[in-house]
Amino acid sequence: MNFELTEEQKMIRDTARDFANREVEPKAAELDKTARWPTELVKQLGELGFMGMAIPQEWGGAGFDAVSYVLAMEEISRACASTGVIMSVNNSLYCDPVYKWGSDDQKKQYLTPCASGQKLGCFALTEPMSGSDAQTMVTAVEPVGDDLILNGSKNFITCGDHADFVIVFAVSQRDGKKLKHDALIFPTDLPGVTKAPPDVKLGIHAAHSCTLYFENVKLNRKEHLLGPEHQGFKVAMVTLDGGRIGIASQALGIARAALEKSIAYAKERKAFGGPIANLQAIQFMIADMATELDAARLLTLRAAYLKDKGARHSMESAQAKVFASEAATRIAHKAIQIHGGYGYTVEYGVERHYRDARITEIYEGTSEIQRVVIAANMLKD
């Protein structure tokens, strides 16, 4: 077992840290307050090679590994969780499946521009009446002559209102014991595609999500079907195995920001004759926060390491996500407690980490769904 990062991984982490400190963190409070989409940061992430980190250079990516992606995601999300999830959606939910299942023509059209950061992709699985029970979606695709006609809607689509391209999952066959699905990829400006205004949310204000509507959108198999026909649900599940590593890394960043602010505040704030860092009540909270953060990071890096090895990592990704996201909420909760009344105001920024942490327990599979995946793996014969 080797806990050492390679020189390249350290360099990527340091580059991400430097960029996050210089460009992202100074803007994070304003982005949260105004819910402004961070156009300039998304562009800069692309220039750094951070929008297609694990995609080979021949397809516009940076050619790094999943461990490097975790390191960079933690740094960017420590500064701004909204910017972190924009990066994560483009990397893991969009570029990864296009690289894995796209034909060369599809990669040329849909991958290279997004992996290089010039365009943006999004992933549309969730529907108003189908979230955790993802297979039961109603969005459907019908063959009509040589075409495929798509009808339905998808909601809570992160980056949906800014994305140039979308991967949509739709029911493609209803007869037989199980529903069958297609994964479809196409530009979001095709006739019949409409984008609703951004959702108003508790946290990650600058990472817009919205509902997308599809009305008789005309597609064809060669250009728009991603992966084998009727295998779309597996495309979604395998993609989420990778995506959950991204969200676990986002949670690490949020938790680290909350812990670092708590340590600084505890050394500075005085009560009962000295800094509150001298009080065991505060020390124990800091100790638990640091231990949970380390455990979450180790789980996340293990899942990324397995992904890099090409091994199945469904359970390890689910373990990383459920632990890191719930730890982030607990850590941000304690950060507010350590800051007392100041923690409840916007002035110190820890309330933002608390609000941002909550979504990591919900999107890309709720904590309950992660436990379903873990239990299914533990109990299988």
Residues near ligand CAA (CB under 6 A) are: 89, 93, 123, 125-126, 132, 134-135, 156, 158, 178, 233-234, 237-238, 240-241, 314, 363-365, 369, 372-373
The CB-of-279 to ligand CAA minimum distance in angstroms stands at 39
Cβ nearer to ligand CAA, comparing 158 with 262: 158
Catalytically annotated residue among 23, 127, 351, 364: 364
- Vertex 285: Cα angle to 280 and 291 (nearest 5): 120
3-state secondary structure of 115: helix
Query: CA dihedral defined by 240, 241, 246, 247, rounded to 10 degrees?
Result: 70
Nearest residue (CB) to ligand CAA, 348 versus 363:
363
Question: By the 8 A CB rule, do 251 and 360 touch?
Answer: yes
Minimum CB separation of residue 121 from ligand CAA in Å reads 12
Structure tokens at 81: 């969780």
Let me know how long the chain is.
381
Rounded alpha-carbon distances, angstroms, from residue 283 to 183, 235, 253, 256, 259: 50, 46, 21, 16, 12
* Residue whose Cβ sits closest to ligand CAA: 365
Query: Minimum distance from CB of 125 to ligand CAA (Å)?
Result: 5
Burial of 300 (0-12, 13-18, 19+ CB in 10 A): buried
74 is catalytic: no
- Residue closest to 53 by CA, chosen among 31, 68, 38, 39: 68
User: Toward ligand CAA, which CB reaches closer, 289 or 359?
Assistant: 359
> Closer CB to ligand CAA, residue 12 or residue 369?
369
Report, in Å, the least distance between residue 70 CB and ligand CAA. 16
Considering beta carbons, is residue 31 or 373 the nearer one to ligand CAA?
Answer: 373
Closest approach of ligand CAA to the CB of residue 329, in Å: 17
Report the 10 Å Cβ neighbour count for 328. 33
Pairing of strands 165-173, 180-187: antiparallel
Shorter beta-carbon distance to ligand CAA: residue 243 or 343: 243
Encode burial over 341-366: b for 16+ CB neighbours within 10 A, e otherwise.
Answer: eebeeeebbbbbbbbbbbbbbbbbbb
CA dist 316 and 309 (Å) reads 13
Place of tokens 């595609």: 193
Minimum CB distance to ligand CAA, residue 371 (Å): 10
Catalytically active residues are 364
